[in-house]
Amino acid sequence: MELNARIPAGPIQQKWDNHRFNLKLVNPANKRRHDIIVVGSGLAGASAAATMGELGYKVHCFCFQDSPRRAHSIAAQGGINAAKDYTNEGDSIWRLFYDTVKGGDYRAREANVYRLAQISVNIIDQCVAQGVPFARDYAGYLDNRSFGGAQVSRTFYARGQTGQQLLLGAYQALQRQVKLGNVKMYTRHEMLDLVVVDGAARGIVTRDLVTGAITSHVADAVVLATGGYSNVFYLSTNARGCNATAIWRAYKKGAGFANPCFTQIHPTAIPPHGEGQSKLTLMSESLRNDGRVWVPKTPGDKRPPNEIPESERDYYLERLYPSFGNLVPRDVASRRAKEMVDQGKGVGPSGIGVYLDFRDAIQRLGRTVIEERYGNLFDMYMNITGENPYEVPMRIYPAPHYTMGGLWVDYNLMSTIPGLHVIGEANFSDHGANRLGASALMQGLADGYFIIPLTIGDYLATARPAKLDASHPAFREAEAAVREQTRRLLSINGSRTVTEFHRELGSIMWNYCGMARTAQGLEKALDLVRDLRQQFWEDVKVPGDSGNINMELEHASRVADFLELGELMCRDALHRNESAGGHFREEYQTPEGEAKRNDEEFAYVAVWEYAGPDAPPVLHKEPLEFEYVHLAQRSYK
């Protein structure tokens, strides 16, 4: 496996502009001769499909939902970063670049991060032109708020539903291209395999989730925009349908998987409340602008929060990090919340949680202002918990959220398989070991609107893929493999449900490869996951058949992939003998309990190559060089 990042030469401020000039172009008249498959219709997928359709390519866009509007991007609440400095606080492209590299604990490529910060200013203009209703101040200017890991207000937002509003903007652009015939939309279709011909990605195999039909789709290039894999933990903030199947099947066809253990635990989710729970609910990080995080100073104090006087409250983030306070990065806030719970200071009936209190903000600003900023989030919390956060503090606790790992891509967002491009959360490229809040939407739209439409043309103009159709043996073989796995899942007829296996896997991953990890625990997890995978293929029960709607069959296929991915995540976490961002090995921490990196040995991207069902994966390393942001121990004090 060759890891050529293709990072352009020259000063970092000029790399993207120079690179765009040097990209080979496809004649506008020739674009209509090229078919491009886009898998996923969230922010990254919808924006990419719409933009490439507008450029003239023949785009085929697939999603497993009944509408692109149901993509998980709608769940992003708090905002989108951009270095416009409307607030005159000293922000700049350089500061956003610096904050992102530092926030990711120096485990991201500088060139990619700088490009992301550079493009961020264009994203806002694009979305405003589409009619996205960003919040505005009294004078009518676009408003901003703060997010974790930054000391400036650079986050543009639409109350607590920014992701939904941005997705509607991308969706309308996509539907315009569908109407014009430039994009063909395939809803309720799930990608189950990647087809590689002569070493290049040339199509996919899908299952129609309504009829069960297995079909092949041919293209000159394939773009995966299928999101992250936090549902490997079973309970996460992700929608129940989010899965890793597309990128995992691509990994098994030769695409390198980078940094799989870099998973983010979000500090502000509603705490879990029982065995029967199917997912966790995110409370936007934007709430940390006005909410203060605290626990009782005395372990085991079960008094109602409003009966605990100020002198007996520990605002621990403000105490430990006076410069950033409640706006420390997510990995830091999450670990500190766990630490408070482990000390017996957890709140609520289960003792698993901390308070997020808006009392002072309501007194200072008035309830009306808080309602304007966060009203829908407060309503959601009230509906789920039955508690009124205007009168009592919210109870929050960390939960699996975003995955920084994903398929390895070069500067052009192409994987180790020529022709297979990966964008948004599905790739590993821009965040390092921890993602700053409000940067997911930024990356998805940067990749989809501004990067992939240009770089994919360079591939097509250079590779000049030959025409072929679905009768090619590679497509027949891929279809046969998909049908065989489907048949096998349905034929086991065991005694345990898919959900039972998924829940047990999630418990293993959370306990041993979650917020805190140890070598001993990861070794144990590897054995447990292998045993569980064997039990799955011997004892899972998948009712029904494959000729119609069968959600248990869908779930079983996805859990089969999670069982393999979980092992790779543990293997990656075990080999990385350091702590970095969301990867916290308890053996490697500073005296203050912060993540302690080992830059001499682990300043690289860990890229895993599939070596077969019975062989361990092969580790490749892409060294990371820091020329513009010098390596240092992170400090937010």
Residues with catalytic function: 330
Is the separation of the CB atoms in 163 and 441 below 8 Å? yes
Report the C-alpha gap between 329 and 402 in whole angstroms: 13
In 3-state terms, what secondary structure has residue 292? strand
Report the C-alpha gap between 135 and 141 in whole angstroms: 8
CA 403 from centre of chain: 4
Q: For residue 236, give both structure tokens.
A: 């996460």
CA 137 to each of CA 141, 142, 157: distance values in angstroms, whole numbers, following the listed order? 6, 6, 12
Largest CA distance in the chain: 74
> Per-residue DSSP letters for 221-284?
EEEE-----GGGGSSSSS-TT--SHHHHHHHTTT--EE-TT-EEEEEEEPPP--TT-----B--
Query: Which ranges constitute the DSSP H helices of 56-144?
Result: 93-103, 110-130
Query: Which ranges constitute the DSSP H helices of 434-550?
Result: 440-445, 452-463, 473-492, 498-513, 519-539
In 3-state terms, what secondary structure has residue 293? strand
Instruction: Tell me the one-letter amino acid at 51.
Output: T
Q: Are strands 155-156 and 604-609 parallel, antiparallel or unpaired?
A: unpaired
| Residues forming a β-bridge with 142 | 136
| Ramachandran angles phi, psi of 35, nearest 5° | -100, 130
Is the separation of the CB atoms in 345 and 299 below 8 Å? yes
Rounded to the nearest 10 degrees, what angle do helices 519-539 and 551-575 cross at?
160
Instruction: Tell me the one-letter amino acid at 557.
Output: S
In 3-state terms, what secondary structure has residue 180? helix
Report the C-alpha gap between 337 and 339 in whole angstroms: 5
Q: For residue 365, give both structure tokens.
A: 């600003």
